[in-house]
């Protein structure tokens, strides 16, 4: 089996690649598990060294829109495509044209290139919780369900929702086997801030654990829908494995989310790393971020994902402990 991961050098793409390479096999669309012969990673920057060292990994650097338009990717014989590449929410709001190019045009071009293969490859499209947004003067439905009408309040959310529509129609037409999964806000995201407006939901744990101060730009009672990196990758892989009939409608599904508050997140941080960690938090509401966060749903149901056997993180404290265990070099404060 040959796999392509767009955004393959990013944090999620690299983690997905490691997961797939480690399990060594993958069952697509309810079929039998087959050996993974190759994993092609495409991104602007090269992937981490451990992935480059794996003989099954191939890296194709460049601009996804150009690579797809040139039919360089996906290569003939590609069985599954995990499309994670995207410009993030903050970038798309600041630079409309960038978002339309990276998220809208590139997704369309990638689907066209998949169609051109003529082999109906399986495509898992990473959509986002950001398809849901509170409209001015109207409350958000509580909870948001798989069948709630998305009303994106950001260009990023619109572009992701358009991607879902394209994936659904390319699948209905038989050009691809399509799976759209709406990722929750991933926390704790390791590494450096990435320009996503939701970045502080990782930074407020990651930075204090590294001994650095971190801003918390929203009130403690702010409700958020989170998923750990492990649960997120689990959902993406499950989408590829599920049969068409288990998957059901071609509309996007909400991946499992842990419903918590920013205050509970801080409490979990303190439970793991003590007062020295939470004393590094600067609670200072930022009107610009508040305005954006106010449009995000915190209460998200995920019935279809549950039907596929997926589950949410048990607690945010466990999520923080997992981060500490997985990222020893980035943690300076002793965990309890």
Catalytic residues: 156
Q: How many CB atoms lie within 10 A of CB 36?
A: 18
Q: Smallest distance from the beta carbon of 330 to a second copy, in angstroms?
A: 36
CA distance 44 to 315: 35
The helix-helix angle for 106-117 and 155-172 (nearest 10°) equals 10
43 forms beta bridges with: 61
CA distance 11 to 43: 11
Between 93 and 286, name the residue whose CB sits nearer to a second copy: 93
Between 173 and 306, name the residue whose CB sits nearer to a second copy: 173
Q: Smallest distance from the beta carbon of 160 to a second copy, in angstroms?
A: 10
Q: Smallest distance from the beta carbon of 148 to a second copy, in angstroms?
A: 7
Between 172 and 325, name the residue whose CB sits nearer to a second copy: 172
DSSP string, 98-135: HHIIIIIIHHHHHHHHHHHHSS--EEEEEEEGGG--PP
Q: Smallest distance from the beta carbon of 108 to a second copy, in angstroms?
A: 8
Interface positions with a second copy (CB under 8 A): 96, 135, 138, 147-153, 155, 158, 161-162, 165-166, 168-169, 172-173, 249-251
Cβ proximity of 209 and 281 under 8 Å = no
CA distance 75 to 52: 19
CA distance 301 to 176: 28
Between 140 and 205, name the residue whose CB sits nearer to a second copy: 140
Q: Smallest distance from the beta carbon of 245 to a second copy, in angstroms?
A: 9
**Measured in whole angstroms, how far is the alpha carbon of residue 299 from the centre of its chain?**
18
Residue with tokens 């801003």: 215
Between 95 and 286, name the residue whose CB sits nearer to a second copy: 95
């Amino acid at each position: 089996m040959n796999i392509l991961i767009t955004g393959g050098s990013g944090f999620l793409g690299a983690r997905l690649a490691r997961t797939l390479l480690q399990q060594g096999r993958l069952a697509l669309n309810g079929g039998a598990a087959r050996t993974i012969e190759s994993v092609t990673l495409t991104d602007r920057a090269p992937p981490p060294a451990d992935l480059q060292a794996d003989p099954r990994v191939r890296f194709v650097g460049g601009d996804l829109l150009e690579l797809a338009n040139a039919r360089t990717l996906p290569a003939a014989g590609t069985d599954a495509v995990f499309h994670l590449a995207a410009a993030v929410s903050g970038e798309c709001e600041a630079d409309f044209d960038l978002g339309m190019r990276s998220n809208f045009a590139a997704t369309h071009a990638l689907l066209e290139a998949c169609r051109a293969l003529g082999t109906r490859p399986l495509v898992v499209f990473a959509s986002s919780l950001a398809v849901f947004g509170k409209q001015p003067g109207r409350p958000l439905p509580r909870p948001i369900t798989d069948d709630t009408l998305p009303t994106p309040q950001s260009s990023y959310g619109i572009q992701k929702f358009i991607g879902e529509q394209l994936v659904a129609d390319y699948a209905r037409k038989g050009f691809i086997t399509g799976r759209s999964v709406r990722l929750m806000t991933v926390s704790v995201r390791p590494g450096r801030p990435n320009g996503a407006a939701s970045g502080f939901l990782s930074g407020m744990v990651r930075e204090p654990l590294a001994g650095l101060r971190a801003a918390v730009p929203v009130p403690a009672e702010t409700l958020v829908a989170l998923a750990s990196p492990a649960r997120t990758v689990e959902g993406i892989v499950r989408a590829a494995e599920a049969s068409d009939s288990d998957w059901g409608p071609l509309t996007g599904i909400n991946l499992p989310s842990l419903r918590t508050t920013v205050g509970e997140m801080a409490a979990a941080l303190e439970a793991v790393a003590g007062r020295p960690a939470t004393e590094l938090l600067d609670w200072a509401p930022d009107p610009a971020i508040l305005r954006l966060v106010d449009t995000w749903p915190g209460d998200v149901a995920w019935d279809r994902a549950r039907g596929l056997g997926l589950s949410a993180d048990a607690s945010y404290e466990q999520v923080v402990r997992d981060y500490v265990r997985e990222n020893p070099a980035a943690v300076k404060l002793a965990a309890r």
